[in-house]
Every structure is written in structure tokens, then in C-alpha cells.
Amino acid sequence: MYVAVPSPEGHASSLRRRRDHRRRQGESANEAEAAAAATRAVRRPTPGYHNDFQAHPRSSTEAPPSYAASQLTVPRKPAARRPSEGHERLPAYTCSISQQGVLNMVTELAHPFRAASAPMWREVYVVLRGTQLSIHKVASPFGTKDESLRGPGKLVKAYTLQHAEVGIAADTRHSSFVPLKSIARLIAPQRRRRYYEKDPTMFRYQRYHVMRLRLETDQFLLSCASETTLLSWVENLCAAIDIAPPLDDRTSPNQHTVPRRRRAAGDRSNGRENLDASRRLIEQQERILREMYPGFASETTPETPSPESSAEGIRARHQPTPDAPEDPDADELDNNAAFASSPASTNARPEAGDP
């Protein structure tokens, strides 16, 4: 058996190659360990939950900047005032709900559960402005009754119109006797009726129109000399009451969006067909009454229908004449009038109160 024996030079080269391979493996392992150690030193601990969008900033060893360095390098300049600032002309204000005048007033309830002690009519000057109603005393020259010379005097009370109610007091009447002579002004109001019956030329009988108001805890009556003035006050008070509540508590009005049905042009030309259909309907109703109530129909003697109540009379009455314009509502028959000629209706008797 032949065995190859290596030479000394080949054995030495093989040993060198093995040593170089082991050295390179050791260097690679050292580099990997150094890189892993560097990565572990920089990496921050991750939280206990997983979030792909959480970015952890790297820790910085630098000191934060000082407050002096963080201030703005260029200071801000204050805004310059305009010459007209503070002297602007405000827009004019006009109140859309405003009315005032001299009215007669009497207090009904001073409290919801307590009536007024001595109710008596007295003249007051009422001012309605927006959502406030103010009651003033009448300031006027002595003895004058001219409305243009009378104005508001001392304020008696001011009411808000939130949760207020207003209406015409149909259950209350108020009248007075207006003096027509200078001497008649000296007579007390309680005795003027007696003097008016003796001498009607001394006074003028004046009847007032009354409205009732419930404001806050009071209830009182206000009277006007004319119906037009009363309706004007009621309309303005209702408008003020509607805008008195807050915006969240207001209710929107119900809009009528359904239009009125209009008759088509073709329906007016079919008046004769509609009359024929109504006649057939009447005949059908008569036949049903005869079949279902034969005894009721045999007890009575049918009367001859008049031309106005019969179907032919209705049709002749609704026929348009050549001179008269065509009635657009001619095709609308009154079935109650048409049914009056039926046998069932001939047995009807007038009531006790009928002629």
C-alpha cells in the first residue's frame, strides 16, 4: 500500500492558512460584539404596549438654552392707534316696537292669589319700548285734555314682557262722562251720571274698549277710547311678547306650504259630463234606498220633484248662457240639494221650530 507523505513546505503553508482563517473569524466576532454593545448603550427601553407611531427621541447630554438666549432678537412694536379710534360714529338705533299714549288703568290682581283692595280706574301714561312696558303718571298742564300736551311723568312700575299674556277683555265694560263745560270739571266722577241725566250738554258719554294684561305677578286692565287704538296696542304687545323669550325658547311659526288647489282648464269644459255623472249617482242612490228599505218607500207617496230640486233642473240651472261668462265652479254640485228629490227624503217632516 502506497501512502503519500506531505513535504515540509506544504505542511507549513497549510498551518499558515488555518491560523489566518481563525484570526479573521475572531476579528469578525469582536466587531459584532462591539456593534451590539454600542446599540444597547443608545437604545431606550420600550414601553409595555406596542405603538408603531411612537417616536422616542434620543437622549441629549447638552444643557438647555438659557432664558436670555431664548428671547426674541427683534422686539415687537406695539400697534399704532388710529386717529379715529374711540371716536367712531355709532349706527343709529331704532326700536321696531314702540308705542305710547294715555290710557285708563285698573288693577285686578296685585298677586296671583290676592285681588286688589280698591280697584279704581285712573289715567296713566303707558310706554311700550321693545320688550318693556312702563307705567308712568300723566304729566300735563292743569286741566288740559290735549294728548299732544300730555307726557310721561313719574315712573310707577316697569314690567318685562317675558311669559306675559294679553287679550281683549270682553267681559268688562268701562265708560265715563267727559266734561264739556268748565263747571262740569268740578263735579266728582261718582256724581256725573246723575248730572248727565239732568243736563246731557254738560258731559259726553264715552265708552272705552278694554284689554287685559298679565305681566309678572300683576293682572290689570287698560282701556282705550277707540277700537283702532286698542287693536294697535294689542298687535304691538303680541309682537313684543313673541320676541321677549330667549332665542333657544322661541318657537318658529307654522308655515302653510300647501298651495290651494286650482282647477285645470280642461275640467271647466267637462261640465256636462260631470252633471251626467251626478245624475247617475242620484239614480243609484234612489235604487239602493228602494231595495234596502222597501217598506219605508211604500208607506209614503212620492211627490213630483220640483224643477229646481231635480237633476234635470240642476243641470239646466248650471248651463252657461251665451251672454253670461262661464262659471269655473259650475261643475261642483251640491249633493245635499240633489238628494232632496229622493224618495227617502219625501218622508222628512219639519221640526217643531221650523215654519
Give 166-200 as a DSSP string: EEE-TT--EEEEEE-STGGGGS-GGGHHHHHHH-T
> In which residue ranges of the chain is CATH 2.30.29.30 found?
98-246
Instruction: Evaluate the CA torsion angle 34, 36, 40, 42 in order and state its sign.
Output: positive
- Would you tell me how many other CB atoms lie within 10 Å of the CB of residue 338? 19
User: Quick one: residue 39, left, alpha or beta (phi over 0 = left, psi -120 to 50 = alpha)?
Assistant: alpha
Instruction: Evaluate the CA torsion angle 122, 124, 126, 132 in order and state its sign.
Output: negative
The CA R_g of the chain, rounded to the nearest whole Å, is 52
- Residue 4 grid coordinates: 503519500
3-state secondary structure of 129: strand
d(C-alpha 130, C-alpha 159), whole Å:
11
d(C-alpha 241, C-alpha 249), whole Å:
12
Burial environment of residue 244 by CB neighbours within 10 A (0 to 12, 13 to 18, 19 or more): middle
Tell me the residue type at 140. Answer: S
- Residue 238 grid coordinates: 303680541
Long-range pairs for 181-186 at CB < 8 Å and ≥24 separation? Answer: 185/143
d(C-alpha 249, C-alpha 272), whole Å:
56
3-state secondary structure of 316: helix
Tell me the residue type at 153. Answer: G
Alpha-helix residue ranges (DSSP H) falling in the chain: 8-42, 67-70, 192-198, 227-243, 265-268, 271-292, 294-299, 311-317, 335-338
Inter-residue contact 350 to 303 (CB < 8 Å): no
Please give the angle made by the CA atoms of 342, 331 and 348, to the nearest 5 degrees: 20
pLDDT for 250 equals 81
Instruction: Evaluate the CA torsion angle 238, 241, 247, 249 in order and state its sign.
Output: negative
Helix, strand, coil abundance in the chain, percent, nearest 5: 35, 20, 45
pLDDT for 118 equals 73
d(C-alpha 50, C-alpha 330), whole Å:
85
Question: In Å, how far are 182, 188, 192 from 185, measured between CA atoms?
Answer: 6, 8, 9
Inter-residue contact 122 to 137 (CB < 8 Å): no
d(C-alpha 327, C-alpha 321), whole Å:
10
pLDDT for 353 equals 39
Inter-residue contact 137 to 125 (CB < 8 Å): yes
d(C-alpha 223, C-alpha 150), whole Å:
17
Question: In Å, how far are 117, 119, 192, 218, 220 from 109, measured between CA atoms?
Answer: 9, 9, 28, 6, 7
Print pLDDT tens along the chain (355 aa): 555 555 666 667 777 788 887 888 878 888 888 877 777 655 555 555 555 555 555 666 778 777 777 666 666 777 788 888 888 888 888 888 999 999 989 988 887 777 777 778 888 999 999 999 999 998 876 555 566 677 888 899 999 999 999 998 888 888 777 777 777 777 877 777 777 778 888 777 778 889 999 998 889 999 988 889 999 999 999 999 998 888 888 877 676 666 666 655 555 556 677 788 888 888 888 888 888 877 765 555 445 445 444 545 545 555 555 454 455 454 444 444 444 444 444 444 444 434 3
- Residue 229 grid coordinates: 287704538
Which CATH architecture describes the domain 98-246?
A: Roll (2.30)
